[in-house]
Amino acid sequence: MKGRNIYDPGRLKSAEPIGDEISGDPLENNYDSIAEREQIIRDSILLREQFVRDSLLAREQFVKDSLIRRKEILDSVIYLQKELKILAEAYFRAVKDDIILRCYDIPIIGDSALGDFVYLTLPFGVKDPYSPWKSKIVLTGKAVRFTYDPKQNKINAIHTPQFRAAFKAYDQQQLMVITEMPVIQKNWAGHFYKIPLDSVFFDKNKRITKIKRYMLFHSVINTNQKGNLLFTNCTEVKQFIYGIGHEIEQFQLTRYCERWKAYEANKVCSILTYDFTKKGNAYLLSRRNNPANGYSDGTYTFTFDDNDNLNGISFVNVANTENWHRSIELNKDGNVSCYIDKTNDVIRQSLCMIYHPEPQAKYPVETVTTTFEKDGISYYQKNNMTGKIRTRDKMTLEWSGWKP
């Protein structure tokens, strides 16, 4: 039998650990795996929730930063809008011979760009296309640059395709000095490096009350470099008086004679005074020379529509030797279609515009002059661009073809 059926407690006891390692408790093992899986799910949910919170916070911060940035940009544009109107108005009132009636607020395009600076003039004679009584200055683009002085919190230079100048304020912003671009001139009197300089005076309401224009004469060195100051010449003085509603009531222009030598006196050459009267959409401009001149002294009348488009100009002089009227017809785009001239209520001539907006057009604008006879009928026309003319038969009133 060799002991196969003999009870041996030690043999059974030595086998017990082997059974424990192999089998274990199946319910306990299953519970542990479910707990681990649930913990993994909870951790995953927590991670996702944290990710969502972080994403929302990042998005919120991005929106806040964007709003702050947009506000900073808008604040900068609003600053430019206010400052540039003051500077541009001062510059153009100083350098232009036109009588500037008003300057419009500079519009803001979107929240990051400026529109054009536009001013309205009272032109004594107009014959140009488009809207020559309104001048537009571009203030945006790659060619436009501003120089800013952080100490004074002011713009001290402007560089655009239409004008360049430096600005400096004094006396609590009641005086502005404008330095224009220098020019070199050579004539019988010598070789000069000339710098135009304008002193612009403001009242407490930031309105321009006086402009003094000077020309600084320097010697020239190395062909085109500024040398020593030779003398300063006052060239013009403009004075403005305002009435009710901040409208200009009087404008006086004093012009001084040319000087080419330091020892020459600064003499007044002419004094012109303009008195303004507003009647509805019409402005009456009384012009007076000092000394008086019955032929050039008189009254201009400028008539506008509600959109500040000029409809007509008329003039009657003191001597009653001039009495003319120019009416202005506009096209659907608000540009001049025709100027029609009348003398003593009789049509004498018209100047009409033919616009060619297409990019490849040879002439962007063609102008045609039509003359009228005493019977009020036109018999002659000339295209001022091509030089061609045509005539009308006085019997049949038919026009001929255009001929060189």
Structure confidence by residue, pLDDT tens digits, 322-357 = 999 999 999 999 899 999 999 888 899 999 999 999
Structure confidence by residue, pLDDT tens digits, 220-252 = 999 899 999 999 999 999 999 998 878 899 999
pLDDT the model gives residue 228: 95
Return the CATH number of 195-279, one of 3.30.70, 3.40.50, 2.60.120, 2.40.128: 2.40.128
The answer, yes or no, to whether residue 11 has pLDDT greater than 80, is: no
Confidence band, pLDDT 50/70/90 cuts, at residue 25:
low
pLDDT the model gives residue 22: 43
The answer, yes or no, to whether residue 196 has pLDDT greater than 60, is: yes
Distances in Å between the Cα of 323 and the Cα atoms of 260, 304, 339 are: 40, 20, 16
Please give the model's pTM, rounded to 2 decimal places.
0.80
pLDDT the model gives residue 17: 46
pLDDT the model gives residue 156: 93
Helical H runs in 96-175? Answer: none
Q: Write out the two tokens for 28.
A: 């306990």
Structure confidence by residue, pLDDT tens digits, 43-94 = 788 888 888 877 778 777 777 766 666 677 667 888 899 999 999 999 999 9
Say how many residues make up the chain.
Answer: 404
Helix (H, G, I), strand (E, B) or coil at 61: helix
Distance in angstroms between the alpha carbons of the first and the last residue of the chain: 147
CB 271 within 8 A of CB 253: yes
Q: How many CA atoms lie within 13 A of 120 on its CB side?
A: 16
